[in-house]
């Protein structure tokens, strides 16, 4: 890695997929091929992406480390940096530093069934673990994979190709999708993610639930899981707190004695319950 952890490595945007009107997935490749080898990211980790002349933003690495030689980031246009990033084209240069944070405890998940519950752009961090687990080299170490994903509308569904063409066709893998309200062209489920979860009612037996999405969705998903008998140790989520340095130095992201950038962003529900009440 670089001499200073705060200096980004230069990367080139090699592909851009328009996921929705305000979300794009950027494929990025380090200009120095040796950097990728040392980068060594794990599912659930984040990176600081810099757009030169504008600044940096924390973005989850959405590609699985099993997809080698590149990184993917799915970015929602919400403000200054993300807006400028959305204007970049293939071939543009950006900076990447990381990987930062802990990762999904994929070793502890071995032998278990996995239930992924995502909403909106919240599928981005989950996708790195889903693709890791579903990769041929890892698949026999995990049980059944269930993916429940919801978005506001059809247009707001991210990763359509993964959901409707890839994951749903894999053995021992089920995909449920829903949108908030009815639309003429939509023949699938309509309704909010937590209600759909209760309808599907996946048994907690030998299962780990991993959820990520807007705070309101997470709140009701956690209630639904509790009602269905999931213990706090069986539920994993991620916390999003504005980050700056990413390395536990600036004090921007702490929750009590924990730093989201180094202790998180992945936490088990029992760990979150030990945090100050505002989280
Ligand atoms: C651990 C972690 C993982 C993340 N992963 C992703 C990802 O995969 N894809 C993605 O698009 N974004 C992700 N984010 C959020 C992303 O970092 C911010 O949205 C981004 O920094 C906004 O930059 P900006 O300069 O464009 O917006 P700003 O101008 O900084 O903000 C624009 C608006 O967005 C709000 N905002 C900024 N940051 C956040 C935040 N963290 N949570 C909620 N609201 C915020 C601001 O309050 C403001 O209203 C992640 C954040 C964290 C902490
Ligand atoms: S981002 Fe600086 S301490 Fe966490």
The Cα–Cα gap between 274 and 82 comes to: 33
Q: How far is the CA of 214 from the centre of ligand 2 (A)?
A: 22
Mind listing the pLDDT tens digit of every residue in the chain (279 residues)? Answer: 456 888 999 999 999 999 999 999 999 999 999 999 999 999 999 999 999 999 999 999 999 999 999 999 999 999 999 999 999 999 999 999 999 999 999 999 999 999 999 999 999 999 999 999 999 999 999 999 999 999 999 999 999 999 999 999 999 999 999 999 999 999 999 999 999 999 999 999 999 999 999 999 999 999 999 999 999 999 999 988 888 999 999 999 988 888 999 999 999 999 888 887 665
Name the E strands within the chain. Answer: 9-18, 23-30, 46-51, 55-60, 71-76, 93-100, 113-119, 145-151, 173-179, 189-190, 207-212, 235-238, 254-255, 258-259, 266-268
- Mutation probe of ligand 2 site: the residue of 47, 253, 256, 264 with most atoms within 8 A of C-beta: 253
220's tokens: 């009701």
Sequence-ordered alpha helix ranges (H) in 109-182: 123-134, 160-161
**Integer Cα distance of 63 and 125 in angstroms:** 8
Cα(61) to centroid(ligand 2), Å = 18
The rounded distance, in Å, linking the Cα atoms of 216 and 24 is 23
**What does the alpha-carbon distance between residue 193 and residue 186 come to, in Å, rounded to a whole number?**
16
Residues near ligand 2 (Cβ within 6 A) = 243-246, 248-253, 259, 261
- CA 121 and chain centroid, separation: 8
Statement: the pTM of the whole predicted model exceeds 0.75: yes
68 contacts 35 by C-beta, under 8 angstroms: no
Ligand 1 midpoint to CA 81 (Å): 9
Which residue among 57, 119, 252 has the greatest number of ligand 1 atoms within 8 angstroms of its CB, and so is best to mutate? Answer: 57
C-beta of 265 in contact with ligand 1 (< 6 A): yes
Question: Count of CB atoms within 10 A of residue 110's CB?
Answer: 13
């Amino acid at each position: 890695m670089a001499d200073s952890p705060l200096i980004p490595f230069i990367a080139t945007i090699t592909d851009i997929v328009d996921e929705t009107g305000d979300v794009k997935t950027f494929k990025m490749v380090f200009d120095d091929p040796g950097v990728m080898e040392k980068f060594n990211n794990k599912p659930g980790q984040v990176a600081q992406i810099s757009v030169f002349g504008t600044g940096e933003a924390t973005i989850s690495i959405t590609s699985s480390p099993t997809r080698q030689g590149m990184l993917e980031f799915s970015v929602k246009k919400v403000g200054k940096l993300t807006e400028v990033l959305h204007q970049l084209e293939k071939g543009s240069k950006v900076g990447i530093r990381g990987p930062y944070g802990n990762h999904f405890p994929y070793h502890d998940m071995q032998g278990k069934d996995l239930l992924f519950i995502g909403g909106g752009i919240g599928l981005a961090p989950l996708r790195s673990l889903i693709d890791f687990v579903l990769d041929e080299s890892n698949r026999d170490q995990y049980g059944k994979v269930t993916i429940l994903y919801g978005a506001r509308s059809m247009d707001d569904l991210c990763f359509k190709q993964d959901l409707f063409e890839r994951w749903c066709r894999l053995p021992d893998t089920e995909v449920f999708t829903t949108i908030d309200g009815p639309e003429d062209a939509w023949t699938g489920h309509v309704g909010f993610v937590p209600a759909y979860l209760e309808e599907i009612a996946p048994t907690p037996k030998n299962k780990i639930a991993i959820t990520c999405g807007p705070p309101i969705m997470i709140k009701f998903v956690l209630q639904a899981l509790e009602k269905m008998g999931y213990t706090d140790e069986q539920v994993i989520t991620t916390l999003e707190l504005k980050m700056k340095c990413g390395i536990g130095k600036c004090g921007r992201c702490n929750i009590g004695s924990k730093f989201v950038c180094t202790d998180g962003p992945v936490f088990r529900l029992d760990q979150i319950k030990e945090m100050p009440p505002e989280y």
